[in-house]
Structure 1
């Protein structure tokens, strides 16, 4: 208050604090533990709140199914969402980059995707290759990061499921030999519905950084603020014990 009074007496302009950048962010309508929850209690959501104290950004959470989030980001109905880097997504969204590559130091966290099988099954994953799988299909959801990896491994894929619950139902019904899901999400479903029937293998299929990605048009309109916010995310994560 004193510096404002002095400025007024001297006839100097009074600089108001910059208004926070308002960002409409789509959050999945089901838990994606440990990073996001519909109620906002996920680890990544906490990182974003803490980053907002360093760089003024006001996030409005909009809860929707995953595919709706992606479509709303593409069409500009929302400004941002949390997602892994997939090349196709760069046509409509901006990622924090460094030397033409996604900058993992500015990711909000990491997610693991793991393989599950029926208890006592023979399918194994050693971190590089499947064993005892042959041409039996692996179940998953379409458009997920790991689908391209499964294709590279020449795995037969059944991606007809619309939800992780449907993925596990395919496994329980013996329509597939194994499934790939986000690890935390899969652990919760197994504990809730398939305890003693389905088991998750110990080695993740893939571990990937998750980024706050931004609609390209919105990014071009607010590039300095968003770049600074991504930097704030890095500061927050680096400061965590």
Structure 2
């Protein structure tokens, strides 16, 4: 992944002001994927990263709220300030819009929400390959990623054809199973939940991971500027583990 959505930068950054609650505490609205991002987020709020944030925010002057949307909408709404935070990996395109723990130049991975492992999946018996640096033997077929994932940029930079036409991983695995894709990039934890039964007999993970990436709780820059102490404390309380 570079895993979460690449931000399309707008010409100017609208003012991001969180509405205060009746108690005067500002809302801290986090947008997560409406399809879920297991095991890190789930539409019912039970994801591991969601729980980590809920624990870390206790006692801080922020009113935690969640909203669900497709990935691209979450990205668009943190730009406009409609939401205050999303989960995202580091991406240079974010640098004018969001704040990362430790600063945008070199975010502090010690205070990410999680570490995610992205693996490369293929049909068993396929010759398509990833050697840790390059893809090979794709047979003029694309590598699949979910719609909006920042890892599309990485694949394009590697010179491989990309299919990001599906919002859910199960759809990309279906394309892989039908022979329409050579490989699929996926978060290991999410893929493990899907590779059950018949799919598990047909699809395998290649030995070398594509990348291990810190997944950060990134915050709209203008919200961060006005609530710096609370956000810094929240970030300091987060300690990632590999998911």
Give the TM-score, by structure 1 length. 0.80
CA contact (8 A) 1:44 1:108 kept: yes
- The offset of 1:211, in angstroms, is 0.7
Which structure has more relative contact order (CA 8 Å, sep 6+)? It is 2
**Residue matched to 1:111:** 116
Equivalent of 1:152 in 145, 154, 157: 157
Q: Decide which structure has greater helix share.
A: 1
**1:128-148 deviation per Cα after TM superposition (whole angstroms, max 9, x unaligned):** 232333643211134423223
**Residue matched to 2:225:** 220
- Worse-superposed segment, 96-105 or 206-215: 96-105
- The offset of 1:65, in angstroms, is 1.8
Question: Which blocks of at least 5 consecutive residues in structure 1 are unaligned?
Answer: 1-17
**Residue matched to 1:44:** 49
**Residue matched to 2:185:** 180
Give the TM-score, by structure 2 length. 0.80
CA contact (8 A) 1:135 1:155 kept: no
CA RMSD of aligned residues (A): 2.4
Larger Rg: 1
**Residue matched to 1:35:** 40
**Residue matched to 2:70:** 65
**4+ residue runs over 4 A deviation:** 18-21
- The offset of 1:110, in angstroms, is 0.9
Count of aligned residue pairs for this structure pair: 219
**Paired residue secondary structure (2:234):** helix
1:206 maps to 2:211? yes
- The offset of 1:214, in angstroms, is 0.9
- The offset of 1:56, in angstroms, is 4.4
**Paired residue secondary structure (2:146):** coil
- The offset of 1:54, in angstroms, is 5.8
**Paired residue secondary structure (1:139):** strand
